[in-house]
C-alpha cells in the first residue's frame, strides 16, 4: 500500500494593519482605479513596526494547530516557506518550534513566490521517506520590508501574511481518496533585470515580462499535472493559483476554459503575499466551506528566481 499525504487543516494570520489603494495614492502617483484595473488589488495587510516574519509564522501555526485540534507533541517536523527571514540563524522554523514546543526537525525554504509548492513537495517527500505522520507547513512573508515605497510599479503589488497547513500521512491511494497525487517543480536561475529584491534597493521588476512568464509556467504546471495523471480540465473542481495579479488568474482560467467560480481569488484583500499566497487562499476557501472531501484541486505558483511549480491533490 502506498502513502497518501493530505491536508487535514488550514490556518492563517494576517497583520492587523491594512493599507488601501487610496492611501497609497497619497504618497505615489497612482489611483485606486488603476490598481484595481491592472491587478484586482483593493487593499493589503502589512506588518507593524517590530512585527516580523517569525511573529506572523507563530500566529498562523497556532491557528492551524487549534483548527486541527492537535497538540504540539503531535507534530513531527516544521517547514517554513519564506524569503524574508528575520535573522540569519536559527531559522524561522526553529523559532516556531521553540514558541510552540514542537520537537523534531525544522527548516526554512526560500523559493520566493514558488515557495509554498517547493516546501509542500519537500515535506511530502520527507514524510513518506521518514514515515512521519503529521507535519506543519507555513508560508509566511513580510515583503513590505523589501519594498521601495517610492516605486509605484511595485509598491502597489505586495502584502504581508502567513498561511499554514497540517499535512497527515496515511496508507492509501490519493487518486481514490484524499491527498497529493503529484507535484510539478521547475526553475530557471536569476534574471536580475526581470525580478529582484533586497533590503537596500527594494523590489525591481519588469512587470510585463514577468506577467508573460508567470502565465506560461503556471499554465504549463497545471497542464503537465493533469495530462501525466490522465485527468481533463473538466475533472478539476478548483484551481488555486499564486495570487500575483487577477489578470494572471483570469488568463490561466481562460486558457483552461474554466468558469470564474473554479478559480480561487483572494487578491482583492491580500495582494501578492509571495509564499503565503497559496496557503492563505486555501484557508480562506476552506473557511468558506468551498472545498468538499475528494474535490480535485490543482495549485500553481511562479516567483522570483525564477521558481515555479504546482500540485495536484484530492482535498
Ligand atoms: C506590474 C503590473 C501590474 C503592471 O501592469 P502593466 O499593465 O504591465 O503596466 P505597465 O508596467 O506596462 O505600465 C503601464 C503604464 O502604467 C504606469 N504605471 C505603472 N505602475 C503604475 C501605478 N501604480 N499607477 C499608475 N500608473 C502606473 C507605467 O509607468 C506605464 O506608463 P506609460 O505607459 O506612460 O509608460 C503587471 O505587469 C503585473 O502584474 N506583472 C506581473 C507581476 C507579478 O506577477 N509579479 C510577481 C511574480 S511572483
What superfamily does domain 3-171 belong to in CATH?
Thiolase/Chalcone synthase (3.40.47.10)
Catalytic residue among 83, 272, 283, 286: 272
Q: Is 294 left (phi over 0), alpha (psi -120 to 50) or beta?
A: left
Straight-line distance from the first to the last Cα atom of the chain, in angstroms, rounded to the nearest whole number: 20
In angstroms, rounded to a whole number, what is the distance separating the alpha carbons of residues 274 and 272?
6
42 among known catalytic residues: no
Q: Is the predicted pLDDT of residue 290 greater than 70, yes or no?
A: yes
Catalytic-role residue among 21, 45, 95, 113: 113
Ligand 1, atom 25, lies closest to the CA of 30
Q: Does the structure show a pLDDT above 90 at 282?
A: yes
26-45 confidence digits (pLDDT tens): 999 999 999 999 999 999 99
Task: Report residue 200's pLDDT band, with 50, 70 and 90 as the boundaries.
Answer: confident
Mean pLDDT of 38-64: 97
Q: What percent of the chain has pLDDT over 90?
A: 90
Q: Which residues pair with 307 in a beta bridge?
A: 187, 303
Nearest CA to ligand 1 atom 36: 207
With a 6 Å cutoff on the Cβ, whether 207 touches ligand 1 is yes
Rounded to the nearest integer, the mean pLDDT of the chain is: 96
Q: 202-226: per-residue pLDDT in tens?
A: 888 999 999 999 999 999 999 999 9
Coil, strand or helix at 229: coil
Residue 1: per-residue pLDDT = 66
Establish whether residue 214 lines the binding site of ligand 1, counting it when its CB lies within 6 angstroms of any ligand atom: yes
Q: Which of 49, 44, 48 is nearest to 20 (CA)?
A: 44
The per-residue b/e assignment along 97-131, b for 16 or more CB within 10 angstroms, e otherwise, is: bebbebeeebbbbbbbbbbbbbbbbbbbebbeeee
CATH 3.40.50.300 fits 179-314, yes or no: no
Q: How confident is the model at residue 289 (pLDDT cuts 50, 70, 90)?
A: very high
Distance between CA 66 and CA 63 in Å, rounded? 5
Out of 214, 245, 248, 274, mutate this one to test ligand 1's pocket (max ligand atoms within 8 Å of CB): namely 245
Confirm if 151 and 269 have CB atoms less than 8 A apart: no
Numbered ranges of CATH 3.40.47.10 in the chain: 3-171, 179-314
Query: Do the strands 134-141 and 77-81 form a parallel or antiparallel pair, or are they unpaired?
Result: parallel
CB 105 within 8 A of CB 161: no
Run of H or E residues at 280: helix 277-287
Q: Is the CB of 105 under 6 A from ligand 1?
A: no
pLDDT tier at 233, thresholds 50, 70, 90: very high
Q: Is 113 a catalytic residue?
A: yes
Q: Phi/psi of residue 239, each to 5°?
A: -110, 125
What pTM value is reported for the model?
0.97
Mutate to test the pocket of ligand 1, among 211, 213, 215 (most ligand atoms within 8 A of CB): 211
Output the CA torsion sign for 125, 242, 258, 224: negative
Amino acid at each position: 500500500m502506498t502513502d497518501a499525504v493530505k491536508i487535514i487543516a488550514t490556518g492563517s494570520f494576517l497583520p492587523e494593519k491594512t493599507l488601501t489603494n487610496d492611501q497609497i495614492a497619497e504618497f505615489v502617483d497612482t489611483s485606486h482605479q488603476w490598481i484595481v484595473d491592472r491587478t484586482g488589488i483593493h487593499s493589503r495587510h502589512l506588518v507593524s513596526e517590530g512585527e516580523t516574519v517569525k511573529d506572523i509564522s507563530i500566529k498562523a501555526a497556532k491557528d492551524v494547530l487549534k483548527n486541527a485540534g492537535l497538540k504540539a507533541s503531535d507534530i513531527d517536523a516544521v517547514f517554513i516557506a519564506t524569503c524574508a527571514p528575520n535573522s540569519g540563524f536559527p531559522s524561522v522554523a526553529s523559532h516556531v518550534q521553540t514558541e510552540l514546543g514542537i520537537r523534531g526537525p525544522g527548516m526554512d525554504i526560500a523559493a520566493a513566490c514558488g515557495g509554498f509548492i517547493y516546501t509542500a513537495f519537500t515535506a511530502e517527500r520527507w514524510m513518506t521517506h521518514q514515515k512521519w505522520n503529521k507535519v506543519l507547513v507555513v508560508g509566511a512573508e513580510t515583503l513590505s520590508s523589501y519594498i521601495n515605497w517610492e516605486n509605484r510599479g511595485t509598491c502597489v503589488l505586495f502584502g504581508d501574511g502567513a498561511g499554514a497547513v497540517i499535512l497527515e500521512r496515511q496508507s492509501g491511494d490519493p487518486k481514490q481518496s484524499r491527498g497529493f497525487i503529484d507535484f510539478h517543480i521547475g526553475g530557471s536561475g536569476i534574471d536580475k533585470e526581470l525580478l529582484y529584491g533586497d533590503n537596500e534597493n527594494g523590489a525591481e521588476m519588469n512587470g510585463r515580462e514577468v506577467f508573460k512568464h508567470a502565465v506560461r509556467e503556471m499554465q504549463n504546471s497545471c497542464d503537465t499535472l493533469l495530462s501525466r495523471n490522465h485527468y481533463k480540465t473538466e475533472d478539476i473542481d478548483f484551481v488555486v493559483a499564486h495570487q500575483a495579479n487577477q489578470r494572471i488568474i483570469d488568463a490561466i482560467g481562460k486558457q483552461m476554459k474554466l468558469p470564474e467560480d473554479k478559480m480561487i481569488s483572494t487578491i482583492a484583500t491580500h495582494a501578492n503575499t509571495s509564499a503565503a499566497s497559496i496557503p492563505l487562499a486555501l484557508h480562506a476557501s476552506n473557511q468558506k466551506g468551498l472545498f468538499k472531501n475528494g474535490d480535485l484541486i490543482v495549485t500553481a505558483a511562479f516567483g522570483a528566481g525564477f521558481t515555479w511549480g504546482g500540485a495536484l491533490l484530492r482535498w
